[in-house]
Amino acid sequence: MCITDLLRPDRTERWAVILAGGDGTRLRPLTRLIAGDERPKQFCPIFGGATLLDQTLRRVALAVPRHRTMVVVTEAHRRFYLPLVALGGVPSKQVIVQPGNQGTAPAILYSLLRLAGRAPDASVAFFPSDHYFSDEKKFMSYVESAFEAVEFCPELVTLLGVTPEGPEVDYGWIEPAQAALGRSALSLRRVHRFWEKPSLPVAQSLMERGCLWNSFVMVGRVQTFLEMIRRATPDLYDGFTAIQSDLHTADETRGVQALYSRLPSTNFSQQVLALRPADLAVLPVSGVGWSDWGEPRRVLSDLRRMKRGADWRPTPPRALSVDQQRSWKISTVA
């Protein structure tokens, strides 16, 4: 049961994990034009002269110190992540290198087991590396609140759900249930269910009912995350725990490579979160200007909304549609 008295419990050690192992294929027409190579979007300087991973590292540091921040990457992206992580000040022992990209669930479970070997009682926040926020300080204040919520409700993983600005069909949605805390200033809600990329009529209905966009930023105790994954995907969990004794040893690379060679791709939202709503709470977030930069249309729209020019030459890539090229020309006018 959640703690409902007004006394604030003692803080556990706080960590962060940045998920930077994706391939970014949908944004590739844009990133190829900007960088001139096949790098994934998190290693691309889309605006402001800094890569999305650089910006995520700076954002996360507003709430979690750099020496308690892990970054999950993929071996194939080595030439892109090594310089950035070195300049970002993340210790090499906190860079978790996957042999391949097998989806978000293995990336999260691998990082949790490595963290469990160092700080088993810690609380940890997970952050995608390809998001944009117009107000980063305000967003990270919500992350601070989520850490506090975990202290009150250690048996729950807290998701940050963004108040929608429209009936978005390319996002996942969270349908809240009843309040999770009785006497508290935190507006924490239980989770009723998830809606993944709904149709437009369904998205309009979800918005009218007070549902929230799933930012995929989530905070919880290490052991709470692990137990949720064990219940949702026991085969994946057992595969990783079979090599747990190899972690932080000279045998880790060999054991992880053997495991990943037989792992199916597993999506954390669909194959863990959606199956375990009883293990979850959601904290509503508003006024932070959040956007998931998963495709060129959304990036160009946000650049236009920022009323700023892009950092690359204003020639639209042929892979973009006519409407996207029109948006490109608008967004790249200084």
Ranges of H-type helices in the chain: 28-35, 52-60, 78-88, 104-116, 136-152, 200-208, 222-232, 234-241, 252-260, 268-271, 296-306, 322-331
Q: Is residue 333 part of a domain?
A: no
What is the share, in percent, of the chain residues with pLDDT greater than 70? 86
The pLDDT value recorded for residue 136 is 96
* Alpha-carbon gap, residue 234 to 223, rounded angstroms: 15
Is 1 part of a structural domain of the chain? no
**Residue 108: inside a domain:** yes
Total count of residues recorded for the chain: 334
Q: What is the pLDDT of residue 4?
A: 47
- Tell me if 174 is assigned to some domain: yes
Distance CA 317, CA 30 (A): 7
Residue whose structure tokens are 């807290």 = 158
| 267: pLDDT strictly greater than 80 | yes
Q: Residue 329: its pLDDT value, please?
A: 44
* 73 within some domain: yes
Residue whose C-alpha is closest to residue 182's, from 172, 174, 190: 190
For residues 217-223, average pLDDT = 98
Q: Are 181 and 188 in contact (CB under 8 A)?
A: yes
Domain span at 217: 14-294
Average pLDDT estimate for 163-179:
92
27 within domain boundaries: yes
- The count of structural domains within the chain is 1
Q: Is the pLDDT of residue 331 over 60?
A: no
Q: Which residue has the higher pLDDT, 330 or 164?
A: 164
User: What is the arithmetic mean of pLDDT over 258-275?
Assistant: 96
Kindly report which listed range (27-41, 175-189, 210-224) carries the lowest average pLDDT score. Answer: 175-189
CATH code, domain carrying 65 = 3.90.550.10
Q: Do residues 96 and 247 make contact, with C-beta atoms less than 8 angstroms apart? A: no
Q: Quick check: is 308 in a domain?
A: no
| Residue 301: inside a domain | no
Q: What is the mean pLDDT of residues 63-85?
A: 92
Strands 157-162 and 280-285: parallel
For residues 93 and 235, the model is more confident at 235
